[in-house]
A and B are shown apart, each in its own frame.
Chain A
Amino acid sequence: MEIPDTLKYTREHEWARTKGTQVVIGITDFAQDHLGDVVFVELPDVGDTVKKGESFGVVESTKAVSELFAPVSGKVVEVNDPLGDTPETINDDPYEEGWMIVVEPSDPKELDALMDAKAYRAFVEEQE
């Protein structure tokens, strides 16, 4: 299972990557593997605000519907709209093409509270 060293992680299996002042958000390889084939995603609109730890969207697989939880608070500045037509990208490439939203964080320090790759790996192993 892939857990890139450069990302930050939540306990709900979202990842966060800083891009300049902004934060790119998606779900991890572990999450997509456990969900199985993703068939539907519901994401916020550009301009919406998201709050750390609260739901910002929904991802649905043939097995289950799961909420997506924001790793940081802030304003949505970009949304990966093509996922609507090709949700399988989330399974194929969860860390690159499968990104979900870009947020302008209201408090960049919130990132510090997230797990690094090492801590997330340990967390996932404990979950298994």
Chain B
Amino acid sequence: MGNPTGWKPSMEKDAKTTTAAHAEVGAGGATRGIVHEEPLLFERGSTGRSGVSLPAAGGDFDPARELPAALLRGGVEGMPEISELEVVRHFTRMSSWNHGIDTGFYPLGSCTMKYNPKSSEALARLPGFANVHPLAPAELAQGALELMYRLERALSEIAGFDQTTLAPAAGAQGELCGLMLIRAYHQAHGNPRKKVLIPDTAHGTNPASSALNGYEVVQLSSGADGRLHPETVKAAMDEDVAAIMITNPNTLGIFESHIAEIAEIVHAKGGLVYGDGANMNALLGVARPGDMGFDVMQYNLHKTFATPHGGGGPGSGPVGVKAELAPFLPLPAVVKEGERYRLVVDPKERPQTIGKLREFWGNFGMFVRAWALIREYGPEGVAQTGKLAVLNANYLRKLLQGAYNLPYETDSLHEVVFDDKLQKAHGVTTMDVAKRLIDHGFHPPTVYFPLVVSGALMIEPTETESKETLERFAAAMKAIAEEAQADPDAVKAAPTRPFRARLDETRAARKPILRWSPGMKVE
């Protein structure tokens, strides 16, 4: 067989890797390959083709006799008629258009896109866990209940709280739950109060959770160092304030070093301190929010404990609380009685509970994965996670300093926020840099958030990435910074390598097409 390219593999010891050998390969190893154009399933197939063989309708069954006429329909217009192989190829091809943590680096700030170990996946698929029926009586589900009990104890210990509920389905529902607990607590003390204080670096979900619980949101400005200052809180604090919601470290990746004093100010007026645990990865095994004065905090198991997210979910948002809030926790809860475990479901046992947040036990599969990770790591491994997450972010910060502007010079923890100030002089924006990174084979970082930074590039590498990956990412970022000066148009034309180039995000948002219909023409 001929060799049309003339390329030969080198067996030399100092042979360059393909990455270095081909200048057209991105720093993340991205290049071009065969990718298939793929129509919708609805646009495929042929009349009468089928991927399954269904048995003939049996006996004298007649749907028209069983169902009201209004609920019956004849044929379905445009229903795809396709073979199994066509379906398999369709989804396999579509998956090859995608980028995930198993494909490459995914430094989305605030999202903690860390590797999801396959051992956790294997354990979650053990038949005893995967097949347990959510209505199974406690005596037939002792193992699953024990796992929930142990996870609850571990999560309480890791963040420094007295009790934790596993019920919330994800981070935002955890926030909702936390605010409901705060409201129930104040209500029990005779006055639900009116306001929640939220710094300007907060995640957008914080004001939403407050508003859903009937609280007015008061925004607090962070200082020039990116931190919230006690005098700002003092000026806004009164006896109408139900709580302050603080993310620590905040979304600039900066530790709120005044947290203890802030908590004191809020507590002195009878308010509570809510912790958004989205950035818990930075503190893991090193510092405990419960020790800093937080009364309530939601975890995001899908961030901190490496359960899948970003389309692979579902999430899980356990909420830890101090003892005075424990009576209000949602149901169900697992209790240990002697050597047995029991699910508390009856509100009569917990008269002050806020009730049920989610059907059955919560997202149980995520509990198995998170518990597997915690046991695999042990206390030392959990602490190492926090330390390495911070080390990795600071290594990237050091590598990229100078090439990109750092709007806040305060020390970083687990993530670092740059902006596009230096690139803008050449007409290149954060969005262009993000798109160019795709050409190198990296998922872009979080962009244009937090809102306090104009043109923010928020990079969170997590502890699971190697030094080499961080260096390749930094090389790509630096190459883009140089290109922004030398050839800004090339950056603005990016991405050129992916199968779909720069998508029209504006049109997708203004005129979204969410549903296929027969005969539809899409330009």
Contact = CB atoms under 8 A, between A and B. Distances in A.
Contacts of B510: 37, 39, 87-88
Contact of A65 (B204, B431, B505, B506): B204
B454 interface: yes
B451 interface: yes
A62 interface: yes
Interface of B is mostly: mixed
A34 interface: yes
Interface in A46-63: 62-63
A64 interface: yes
Contacts of B454: 34
A64 B449 contact: yes
Interface of A is mostly: mixed
Interface residues of B, number: 11
B67 interface: no
Interface of A: 34, 37, 39-40, 62-66, 87-88
Contacts, number: 23
Given A39-B510, A87-B510, A88-B510, A64 B505 contact: no
B76 interface: no
Given A37-B506, A39-B506, A39-B509, A63 B204 contact: no
B503 to A, nearest CB: 10
Interface string B437-469: 000000000011101001000000000000000
Given A40-B509, A64-B449, 14 more contacts: A34-B454, A37-B506, A37-B509, A37-B510, A39-B509, A62-B505, A62-B506, A62-B509, A63-B447, A64-B448, A64-B451, A66-B451, A88-B506, A88-B510
Nearest to A88: B510
A40 B449 CA distance: 18
5 A-B pairs closest in CB distance: A39-B509, A37-B506, A63-B448, A62-B505, A39-B510
A17 B506 CA distance: 29
23 contacts: A34-B454, A37-B505, A37-B506, A37-B509, A37-B510, A39-B506, A39-B509, A39-B510, A40-B509, A62-B505, A62-B506, A62-B509, A63-B431, A63-B447, A63-B448, A64-B448, A64-B449, A64-B451, A65-B204, A66-B451, A87-B510, A88-B506, A88-B510
Interface string B322-350: 00000000000000000000000000000
A65 B448 CA distance: 10
A125 B73 CA distance: 64
Interface string B470-508: 000000000000000000000000000000000001100
A12 B357 CA distance: 38
With most chain A CB atoms within 10 A of its CB, the pick from B204, B448, B454 is B448
